[in-house]
Amino acid sequence: MARQYFGTDGIRGRINKAPMTAETALRLAIAAARTFAPEGCREVVIGRDTRRSGKMIEAALIAGLTSMGVKPVRLGVVPTPAVALITRETGAALGFMVSASHNKYEDNGLKLFSPEGVKFTDDVEEALEAAMAAAFEGDYAPPAAISEPAGMAGAGRRYIGRCLETIGKGQDFSRLKVVLDCAHGAGFETAPEALRRLGAQLTLIGAEPDGVNINAGVGSTATGALKAAVLETGADIGIALDGDADRLIVVDETGEEADGDQVMALIASEMHRTQRLKGGGMVATVMSNMGLDEYLKASDLSLARTKVGDRYVGEHMRQHGFNLGGEQSGHIILSDVSTTGDGLLAGLQVLAVLAARGGKASTLLRVFEPAPQKLVNIRYTGANPIESDRVKAALAEADALLGSRGRMVVRKSGTEPLIRVMAEALDAELMHRALALVADAVKAQA
């Protein structure tokens, strides 16, 4: 069934244009209340990031929830994983996060969490879409049952405490010089506070949100400022969060990026060494590098793959008993604590290893030799190019060319009008040839 609202990770788009309007938020709140809190009087928590339109969308959610007799609890500006955690720990009927993640301030979005603090399955989202279509046709709460919104003090501190518990007591980061880029986003208070409690020598960038500067030249998708700050300050390491702080990118002391695959490999090796890794390996998406797979095999560990989206990674983890998973883009799930990607939580694991082992981050974060891999994003208008005969033929030719020595991943973005074409091979020339075959075909149809 074609979706009107939900993409790869909730609802997202340009604010005040379908699907990302106040009406959408109102419909979603009413539909979700009818579906998940039909008895009324249950609480629903709402967090948001720092973008200007967040309060507007939050207000629409509150209007819909209160009209159904459900009590909204505002968490204020908090990371997405904090919403998931507090939803689970308080027994709330639902959790809403108002954020467009790494997108600029002109966009916004909505992420939902179940009472267990996990993102909903495709089936549930399709049911919600049907309920949203009929949102204004059903009954509302009687006047006496209309609820009163509330706020929750200390939501950020509660989240910080859970993150710090994962690295144990007595941790001392006072010898570490860390540059932290908060993307002017949801983690601008919680992440610095966590590192200050551990004594890190902290340089902050991207920690002065004004409603429109979220992800503007800072954060996990714009790491130039972080790299420059690491080199200028002589820092040991740099960490960049995205707008809702559910992902990270790490930069070593030379200013080079270590992607999510290297970070996951480091965390996996440390958890395996300390006998904390469950499931006999970890979970990643089809985008993760072949080198990660080979590295884990050398330690008799497995790599399970899912389609792109940290909610699919999380589903597989829960179904098969893994406690580590994530995406190459930096969404990393440590499910002993968090049910979703968590930039601060993952960053603390890296810093704890660096503090314990010493040495250089550039050495620590070169866990495996990556296979040559390249991703091309191609913007399109009109019909999905992947469905064209030309692209299908090019993909078949590329697969035949690569054989067992590489792979192609071609997919439509769930959040933007982009086709993502990724090629990977043990040989760089082979990888480039396969990539050109498919990318040229997609561009011709875009």
Annotated catalytic residues are 101
Report d(CA 183, CA 188) in Å as an integer.
8
Tracing tokens 């405490």 back to the chain, one arrives at: 161
Report d(CA 37, CA 53) in Å as an integer.
26
12 CB burial (10 A radius; 0-12, 13-18, 19+): buried
CA distances to 313, 314, 323, 337 from 319, rounded to whole Å, are 10, 9, 11, 17
For 26-42, letters b (16+ CB in 10 Å) and e give bbbbbbbbbbbbeebeb
Q: What is the DSSP letter of 371?
A: P
| Residue 362 dihedral angles phi and psi, to the nearest 5° | -60, -35
Report d(CA 53, CA 104) in Å as an integer.
12
Closest CA to 426 of 259, 290, 258: 290
